[in-house]
Amino acid sequence: MGSLPLALGIDLGTSGVRIAIVNRNKDLIYTSSVNYENNLEDYHDWINSCEKLIREIPKSFKSNLVACSVDGTSGTIIACDFQGDPISKAVPYHSNCIDETKGILKLSTIKNSSLERYSSIRKALYLTNKYGCDILLRHQADWITGWLLNNWDLGEEGNNIKLGWNLLSKTWLKDVQNLEWRNCLPKIISSGNLFGTVSSSISKRLDLPRNLKVFAGTTDSNAAVLAVNPSSTDGVTVLGSTLVIKRFVNGPIRSHGITNHLVGGQWLSGGASNTGAAVLRRFFSDEDLIELSRQINPEIDSGLKLMPLMIKGERFPVNDPDLEPILGPRPTSDSLYLHGLLESIARIEAQGWNKFEKLGIKAPQRIITIGGGARNPQWRRIRERIIGIPILSSKKQPAEGVALLAMQSIHKSL
């Protein structure tokens, strides 16, 4: 049992959902996860996963929940009607919708620079062209938050940066303000601020406290950073389906591929690559990854030069929508191929930290790594060798970070 009150964090990932509960001393006292039955595009999976996990929370914990926050995959967007009912499947973060929007862009006033910097705008163009402008456009975390509230009017600012929200001016990008689908966008609430109270229908169906407060969360990668509570000299790498690096800084960094968020009163800058563990799972099962990794000598170079992207195009450390994946030639040895993939992802990470240095941010004294890849000791050593910075692996999960944000928020509101 933990000290009361308790806060719930819900993390919507690429392959499934995890929840975490923390007490007022910031101790993790409960966590559970479930994989999607289908895929990230199926919003039914989002709901079913959340319902299953919440129903299974022990009553002694559930009855003492006072706050909740949600994080989700940044850039996964869904079109729904004004009652929040989805019109179609979600468009995942890794879809660039380039082919679907070529003809639309000829008739659009949106600048190419905006399309490059705000990846959800192209998805929004695709969805509004297909379904019209009498719809709502919501990112994954905002849609599930709306489901908890039975109110889909609002959106958290960090989750909407890719749709054109400017954190500094607190306004939408001019390109977006002038569009016909401007009314499809949410009313923005800052991370940590109160969204509302859980709806009576959800409270009754899932046996949640009627006065459970729902606070604006953040993106999945930001939640991951909050979970490890890094110092000012630490860098954080999230080795999940994608590779994300983050660093607390004194002020926002202005550069292509760099995102800036205001989290817990501090500026958090980072970049997300289209490489990551999703590429590894394309070729290997989880069991294969464990066994083949044991056969790798991390102190030597594989000799392979790959560009392990899931799809054409890269966001960070280079901003190149035309960058082609290089996944071959594949050697006969599976362990050698995995060795080359792990090294190539590590090189992309090293380029990311080097880019930060070129922008005036000192190299971190230590890199804290979280996500599924953090559990691989051979990969950790390969990364240390290539990056040249000590690396600490952490088992903390984004769900814990967003739970801590909820607990912090409820304290501020009292």
Q: What is the pLDDT of residues 108-144, one digit of tens each?
A: 667 666 666 678 888 998 999 899 999 999 999 999 9
Q: What is the mean pLDDT of the chain?
A: 92
Neighbour count for residue 298 (Cβ, 10 Å): 22
Across the range 361-378, mean pLDDT stands at 94
Residue 193 neighbours by CB under 8 Å, 6+ apart: 215, 216, 409
Q: Is the peptide bond before 5 cis (omega within 30 degrees of 0)?
A: yes
What is the rounded distance in angstroms from the CA atom of residue 307 to the CA atom of residue 281?
Answer: 15
Are 310 and 94 in contact, with CB atoms under 8 Å apart?
yes
pLDDT tens-digit profile of 42-51? 999 999 999 9
Residue 87 predicted with pLDDT over 80? yes
Bridging pattern class, strands 213-219 and 194-197: antiparallel
Tens-place pLDDT, residues 237-270: 989 888 999 999 999 998 888 888 988 678 999 9
Task: For domain 6-220+399-413, give the CATH number.
Answer: 3.30.420.40
Q: Which residues make Cβ contacts (< 8 Å) with residue 62, sequence separation at least 6?
A: 54, 207, 208, 209
**Ordered alpha helix ranges (H), 16-167:** 43-55, 59-62, 98-105, 112-117, 119-131, 140-149
- The class level of CATH for 229-396 reads alpha beta
For residue 105, the model assigns a pLDDT of 63
From residue 365, how far is each of 135, 246, 362 by CA, in Å?
47, 14, 9
Token pair belonging to 257: 């591929």
Q: How much of the chain exceeds pLDDT 90, in percent?
A: 77
Distance CA(409)–CA(403), nearest Å, equals 10
- On the question of pLDDT at 2 being above 60, the answer is no
**What local confidence, expressed as pLDDT, does residue 1 receive?**
46
pLDDT, tens digit, 9 for 90 and up, residues 154-168 = 999 999 999 999 888
Give the closest residue to 264 by CA, choosing from 402, 397, 72.
402
As annotated, the residues of the chain forming the CATH 3.30.420.40 domain(s) are 6-220+399-413, 229-396
Reported as a pLDDT band with limits 50, 70 and 90, residue 323 is: very high
Q: Which helix (H) or strand (E) holds 70?
A: strand 65-72
DSSP class of residue 24 equals: T
Taking only the tens place, the pLDDT of each residue in 21-76 is: 999 999 999 999 999 999 999 999 999 999 999 999 999 999 999 999 999 998 99
pLDDT of residue 108: 63
Query: Would you say the pTM of this structure is higher than 0.85?
Result: no
pLDDT higher than 60, residue 19:
yes
User: Hey, what are 244's tokens?
Assistant: 């994300």
Q: What is the mean pLDDT of residues 259-283?
A: 90
What pLDDT shows up at residue 106?
A: 53
Section 176-188 average pLDDT = 87
